[in-house]
């Protein structure tokens, strides 16, 4: 036989996730922290990794790390579960709360992985698009949808702040949502260190609340793959049924323990990202034709004419931003991750050059 039977039908029409990571001088496309872990912490990482028995399986639940995170959040260990990046826990959410005959409520435009996971698990999706001008959640429609038993919504994900649009969700709304349904409500707080807002205070009162977080952004560990959820032990137990037993390897566990113990050392870089974000926003607002959207996170989404051409112009100058110009509900937008101040300057200057060229050519309108 030199043929293989067709793959599962739900794969038809699906495309593998493509981060569109291309070689560049300034990587401003993936919402990473522009600074790597500092040398002192790096030395501690090296030492911790040095002592690991590589021939032994890791602790399946990464209990040392779990304990550190539990303690920092004023919880017991059984309220915490580690994953191979937040991505794994997102997939586990669809496995455990989705499936045929159940429904995922999606709030696009948002992180595209949610919808892909639903499709992979044969979970029907109901979309309630965000409001077109502000990307705010259509709160009344969402509350109505979850309250209608005919929809059979079994889980939803509220991203706060929302990737790629930038703003956090209103906590009052999330609380209303938690009260309106017993569907699982995941609040994706991958970027909460930049927004300074968490649903953690409400965890004990709501068995249906799951908080997702990651080490990939504020803690500079995108290359290591560590994420976690906080949730009621009854919910964590269900996740444990679907998770890959050894998904969090020993090396990643050791690195994440060192980084988490040193988490206060990341605070200045977080503050710097927040202030650079405000500078980027102000400069973009002052650039003709550019309409930036406010952000509580470590990036800025902006709309402009000829966005695809602008993406190419930036890339030709070594600056990689994320092109959403032809993505549904995001037409004409690019997303720039906050980089170092030098990278942000290079980005702003290359973008201004593009705008000036267009203005000179007379083909560029001013934003109203």
**Residues that contact ligand PMP, how many (by CB under 6 A):** 13
Closest separation between CB of residue 152 and ligand PMP, Å?
25
My answer on whether omega of the bond before 249 falls inside 30° of 0, hence cis, is no
Smallest CA-to-CA distance from 216 within 353, 90, 366 is with 90
List the alpha helices (DSSP H) in 11-161: 39-50, 63-72, 85-97, 112-120, 139-147
CB burial of residue 46 (10 Å; 0-12, 13-18, 19+): exposed
Contact stretch for ligand PMP (CB under 6 A) within 63-71, 214-222, 237-245, 350-358: 214-222
Supply 204's token pair.
Answer: 């004990």
**Residue 201 C-beta: closest distance to ligand PMP, Å:** 21
Q: State which of residues 29, 103, 159, 253 lies at the interface with ligand PMP (CB under 6 A).
A: 159
Q: In the complex, what is the shortest distance from the CB of residue 256 to ligand PMP, in angstroms, rounded to a whole number?
A: 11
Tokens, residue 257 = 């323990």
Least distance to ligand PMP, CB of residue 362, Å: 39
Q: What is the helix (H) or strand (E) element at residue 301, kind and residue range? A: strand 299-303
In the structure encoding, which two tokens stand for residue 145, read together?
């949808």
Checking 129-134 for CB contacts under 8 A at 24+ apart, the result is 129/329, 130/162, 130/165, 130/329, 132/329, 134/167, 134/293
- Looking at the Cβ atoms of 153 and 190, the one nearer to ligand PMP is 190
Q: Footprint of ligand PMP on residues 174-193 (CB under 6 A)?
A: 188, 190
Binding mask 215-254 for ligand PMP (x = CB under 6 A): -x-----x----x---------------------------
Angle at 55 between CA 50 and CA 60, to 5 degrees: 90
* CB nearer ligand PMP, residue 105 or residue 355: 105
Residues 34-93 that bind ligand PMP (CB under 6 A): 85-87
Looking at the Cβ atoms of 84 and 287, the one nearer to ligand PMP is 84
- Contacts of residue 280, Cβ cutoff 8 Å, sequence gap at least 6: 292, 300, 336, 338, 344, 347, 348
- Measured between alpha carbons, how far is 331 from 166 in angstroms, rounded to an integer? 16
111 part of the interface to ligand PMP, by CB under 6 A: yes
CA atoms within 13 A on the CB side of 234: 7
Residues from 7 through 36 that contact ligand PMP (CB under 6 A): 31
Measured from the CB of residue 50, what is the shortest distance to ligand PMP in angstroms?
A: 25
| 347: its two tokens | 């980005």
Query: Strand, helix or coil at 354?
Result: helix
Considering only residues 277-336, where is the footprint of ligand PMP by CB under 6 A?
none
According to CB under 6 A, which one of 106, 195, 208, 214 is a site residue for ligand PMP? 214
| Nearer of residues 16 and 362 to ligand PMP, judged by Cβ | 16
For residue 30, the minimal CB distance to ligand PMP (Å) is: 7
Which among 247, 244, 229, 235 is positioned nearest to 97, based on CA atoms?
Answer: 235
Question: Which residue, 93 or 325, is less far from ligand PMP as judged by CB?
Answer: 93
Q: How many whole angstroms separate alpha carbon 59 and alpha carbon 334?
A: 41
Task: Report the residue number whose CB is nearest to ligand PMP.
Answer: 85
Residue 24 or 367: the one with the smaller Cβ distance to ligand PMP is: 24
What residues line the site for ligand PMP (CB under 6 A)? 31, 85-87, 111, 159, 163, 188, 190, 214, 216, 222, 227
């Amino acid at each position: 036989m030199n043929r293989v039977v067709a793959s599962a039908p739900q794969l038809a029409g699906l495309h593998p996730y493509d981060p569109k990571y291309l070689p560049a001088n300034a990587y401003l496309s993936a919402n990473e922290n522009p600074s790597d872990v500092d040398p002192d912490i790096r030395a501690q990482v090296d030492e911790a990794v040095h002592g690991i028995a590589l021939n032994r399986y890791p602790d399946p639940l990464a209990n040392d790390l779990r304990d550190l995170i539990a303690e920092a959040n004023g919880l017991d260990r059984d309220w915490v579960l580690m994953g191979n990046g937040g991505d794994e826990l997102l997939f586990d959410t669809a496995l455990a709360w989705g499936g045929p005959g159940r429904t995922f409520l999606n709030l696009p435009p948002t992180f595209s992985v949610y919808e892909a996971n639903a499709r992979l698990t044969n979970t029907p999706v109901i979309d309630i698009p965000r409001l077109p001008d502000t990307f705010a959640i259509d709160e009344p429609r969402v509350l109505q949808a979850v309250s209608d038993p005919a929809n059979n919504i079994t889980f939803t994900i509220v991203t706060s702040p929302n990737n790629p649009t930038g703003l956090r969700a209103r906590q009052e709304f999330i609380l209303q949502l938690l009260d309106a349904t017993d569907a699982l409500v995941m609040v994706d707080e991958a970027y909460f260190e930049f927004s300074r807002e968490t649903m953690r205070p409400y965890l004990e009162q709501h068995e249906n609340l799951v908080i997702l977080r990651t080490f990939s952004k504020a803690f500079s560990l995108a290359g290591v793959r560590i994420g976690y959820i906080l949730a009621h032990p009854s919910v964590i137990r269900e996740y444990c049924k679907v998770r890959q037993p050894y998904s969090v390897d020993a090396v990643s566990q050791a690195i994440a323990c060192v980084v988490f113990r040193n988490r206060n050392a990341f605070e200045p870089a977080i503050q710097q990202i927040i202030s650079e974000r405000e500078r980027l926003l102000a400069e973009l607002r002052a650039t003709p034709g550019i309409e930036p959207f406010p952000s509580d996170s470590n990036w800025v989404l902006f709309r402009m004419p000829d966005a695809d051409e602008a993406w190419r112009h930036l890339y030709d100058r070594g600056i990689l931003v994320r092109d959403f110009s032809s993505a549904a509900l995001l037409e004409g937008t690019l997303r720039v991750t906050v980089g170092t101040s030098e990278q942000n300057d290079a980005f702003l200057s290359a973008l201004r050059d593009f705008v000036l060229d267009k203005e000179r050519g007379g083909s560029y309108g001013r934003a109203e």
